[in-house]
Amino acid sequence: MKKTASVVWHGGIKDGKGAISTQTGVLKDAPYGFASRFESGPGTNPEELLGAAHAGCFTMALSLILGEAGMVAETIQTKAEVTLDKVDDGFAITAVHLDVTAKIPGADAAAFEKAAAAAKAGCPVSKVLNAKITMDARLG
């Protein structure tokens, strides 16, 4: 399976503007630029898109692992906080923190924590990141 996304960029780094699109059309010409990435300007940025991808991937992996352990979640809510730091002469994504709350009737806390740890380690987005990935996972 292969999925695609594309970007069109016009101009320099600070005055330029870009647009991000995805194969499915969920994102179509979503604006991004210096202000949306490094300031508080409108539009999206690669870090929040990576966070969305990581949260989505992890949550699906957790649902799978919970099911294999005989648990079915009513809800799983995951927030991914992606850290972009100045490193040497550039920038690097240095960390991702997953904040997870799940509502699972009758769930055993130890079994849930084991499933969450396995999902964090095993989801494909976690595997591709060269960053420290941390997580808070709790039943709510």
- Contact (Cβ atoms closer than 8 angstroms) between residue 131 and residue 93: yes
pLDDT at 131: 72
Residue 130: pLDDT over 90? no
pLDDT at 64: 97
106 torsion bin: left (phi>0), alpha (psi -120 to 50), beta (else): left
Residue-range domain boundaries for the chain: 5-38, 46-139
pLDDT tens, position by position, 82-104: 999 999 999 999 999 999 999 99
pTM to 2 decimals? 0.89
CA dist 23 and 21 (Å) reads: 7
Cα angle: 52, vertex 54, 57; to 5 degrees: 105
pLDDT above 80 (res 21): yes
Average pLDDT, the chain: 94
30 bridge partner residues:
20
CATH class of the domain comprising 46-139 = alpha beta
CB 92 within 8 Å of CB 130: no
